Structure 1
């Protein structure tokens, strides 16, 4: 593994919710190691080996013990979100990028020696067999655009064994998006969410069985998310506690109500 020792101006990279201390140095990003660190490094090496350009390259460790990743030039939504977050073609390009990532990661397999996820005991069960290592954090902050199209996924801290359907729930959560208008960024209010879910599913090529079960899975994942975020806020503090204290529990509970009220319409759109 290469050790980077050169110095340079450190430009802080902001916009994330949890990871602190991200900086840009030249054409690299320096960041503290995250969860499942060895798996993520192996994953990025695999993506490089199969020629997938839509992810950063893992380059080594610097003299401060930080991971060194390639910096990907492009446009990221940031906060507040730009008006183009409502653009359907941009959204469709994200779904196509996720499909390309899934195709590229297929040969990586599912690691069996991972530590258990940092989750509270007693979570609602998931009837959802594992299929691949997904990104699982496809937020607007983690997608780089070039020329109005999604070019790369960044920040693989939450990458983990999952299913295609679970990954699509995460994608729709942020890009359809799921939730009451009052809880969304102004750029994403008033959108036709059933239509956008259908466009995402079609662009990705989601299977018919996964379309049938997607909203039931979304409901269970949302409930699990509330308990997991509470557990992490209480045990890890930091950004987790900040988000929790800023109203995240109410947002997740309001989203559950929204999912219950809109699940049938979204499923009908997915199957139409």
Structure 2
């Protein structure tokens, strides 16, 4: 989850300030009990989501953000101005909507990315090569996923995916991708899990993608016969495990992100690859989850 985007030549220009965010018709994408997922409607909600990100990435995961972000206790960058922000809100919490945000995802469609400097993941992975092989497809980037500790339940993750799925269908997306992270900056400490990903769900052929030269770290850290699949699955972060259940593939190499104190892998998920079980559960009609 590299935050060094402001020093890259491809740094996006902020096409509109965050305050320009407006309510969007049909932006509620799902509900389970007291939890609701929808897009952020106001700049204040985006600001609150950035504070949730700060709590998880900095206070919990020990990320080192730029001084202004640390001072404001907000994880923010130039991409926030033109991405959509998926929220999970706990409606049982008293107060305004900003006080109810317990989880968030940042969504970036290809058409928006291309007029604003490209995708965030391109600072670590060879995204342009992947896009060039699929000129007929529309990609969507998932990023900055985080959920407050007390809400890290199957229900919350399910609701986030419900929102992602409905959003992707509503906008006619062909594939999703994004960075997913292991804690810490030593890939070797995740040798079992990384090797399992390398040997079992490696993106190949037209979907193959690796880290940028100079950043690539091997995921092939153990021979296939030495990998215990059951133990490897238990060692995977819940988010990555959720991606795999949907039929996701993983890029060939990882990236160490010292700023965020993580080891990142690239998840690639063609819509057509989502398993029938989940497709049937979430439904082929995005409107099913719109209020």
1 or 2, which has the higher helix percentage?
1
TM-score of the superposed pair, with normalisation by structure 2: 0.31
TM-score of the superposed pair, with normalisation by structure 1: 0.33
